Amino acid sequence: DHVAFCFAPACRACRYCRAGRPNLCLVVAEHGANGMLMDGTSRLRAGDGTVLQHGLRTACFAERTVVAAGGAVPLPRGLPLWQAALLGCGVVTGMGAVRNVARVAAGDSVVVIGCGGVGLQVIAAARLAGAACIVAIDRVAEKLSLAAAQGATHVIDAAVDRDPVATVRALTDGGADHAFEVIGRPETIRLAWDAIHPGGSAVVVGLAPVGVEATVPAIEFLSDKSLKGTYYGSGDPAAEIPELAELALAGELDLARVVTHVAPLEGIGEALDRLRRGEGARTVLVLDEALAGRAPG
């Protein structure tokens, strides 16, 4: 069967699952931090019998793995697996931030700070929502080109533009309705806050290191601005992943465009190095080219 992995499979019984917030499942949170499955155990062993962790409950940098039943989400067979591989993480996260958290509506203005693998999906989601103005901000020209292809109406090179907030305000008539921070740094979180108008919302999608703090001028809460967090799309990933796959099959969501590198499993080290350096958008590791329907080139 063709499946996508969901790293928050949800118990469907805890307080958050019952409240319709399965992405915050308490069982996933309890055992996931230890790299264990939903029952608190591991099915993985090294050659000498040492217990191994299930990284992000998927352990998918391997030829074979074991996942929780709820973590294997069935997919339509028409979608090539090298594209479907993006659904269970970056796509559902970026789409959910736009749909479930900000609830971007047709005609809204949006600014996206950080145009990597997840930021590009935020841009695609804003386009699908009918946003009239989508401003992409990054420091890498290649990523800004990808952002424009994904649907950004304007791009700002922060390596050149010394006052991107002023540029955003000029493009959006005083500030955006929604800003999405997709990097996880205090200065870019502040940039998102400054880029929205009174009554606007800033959504932090980026993953900041533990211990990092971000600050905003408290007086500006009087202007009805809001600063929101999100995790894994803030919805029900297991239900939304198949819907996103259908969007891709219908041609409304281009998954292939954000894949900048395709490599064999042995290329994992180089792929992670590119990620650390902020190069490219997404690398897809292909274990079996025939099954994956590998990208040309």
How many CA atoms, within 13 angstroms, populate the side-chain half-sphere of residue 292? 19
Give the predicted TM-score (pTM) of the model: 0.95
Mean pLDDT value across residues 285-295:
87
Q: 34-78: per-residue pLDDT in tens?
A: 999 999 999 999 999 999 999 999 998 889 999 999 999 999 999
Answer yes or no: is pLDDT of 296 > 80: no
> Using CA atoms, how far apart are residues 54 and 172, in angstroms rounded to an integer?
45
The full 3-state SS of 118-161, as one line of letters, equals HHHHHHHHHHHHCCCEEEEEECCHHHHHHHHHHCCCEEEECCCC
Q: 176-230: per-residue pLDDT in tens?
A: 999 999 999 999 999 999 999 999 999 999 999 999 999 999 999 999 999 999 9
Q: 115-142: per-residue pLDDT in tens?
A: 999 999 999 999 999 999 999 999 999 9
- Please state, in angstroms and as integers, the Cα–Cα distance from residue 19 to each residue in 13, 108, 137, 228, following that order: 9, 29, 35, 19
Q: 93-115: per-residue pLDDT in tens?
A: 999 999 999 999 999 999 999 99
pLDDT of residue 297: 55
